[in-house]
Amino acid sequence: MLRYVALILLVLLLALEIKLWAGEGGMRDVWRLERRLAEQKQENLKLKQRNEELAAEVQDLKNGKDAIEERARSELGLIKPGEVFYQVVAPQADDTKAENGGH
């Protein structure tokens, strides 16, 4: 009789162990969720830094003319009155052949 009770308890223990390690909500799921949590925290940190940079840029645009001027120059190609704009263009392959006598 005692053997049957011990055998039943052993089977129950094995079933619980299997459920703990491989079943739904078990350790495998916990490890997977911990890994996803770490990845999400890393992504959140990147996004937070990006948001801080954007907030600083917005503040710059609201308060300073330097940032607006820089954007107008780099993105729109604008210049101030009295300035001279020079554009340097690299020669194309056909132009260099013509200059060297077609060789």
Helices (DSSP H) in 1-82: which residue ranges?
2-22, 27-63, 65-76
Helices (DSSP H) in 64-88: which residue ranges?
65-76
Q: Is residue 102 part of a domain?
A: no
Please report the pLDDT score of residue 95 as a whole number: 56
Apex CA 14: angle with CA 8 and CA 16, to 5°? 100
Distance in angstroms (rounded) separating the CA atoms of residues 13 and 7: 10
Q: Is residue 56 part of a domain?
A: yes
Instruction: Name the residue range of residue 57's domain.
Output: 2-79
Helical (H) or strand (E) element with 93: helix 93-99
Question: What is the block-wise mean pLDDT of the chain (103 residues), using blocks of 10 residues?
Answer: 90 86 82 95 97 90 79 82 85 67 57
Please report the pLDDT score of residue 23 as a whole number: 77
Domain count of the fold of the chain: 1
Q: Is residue 40 part of a domain?
A: yes
Distance in angstroms (rounded) separating the CA atoms of residues 28 and 41: 20
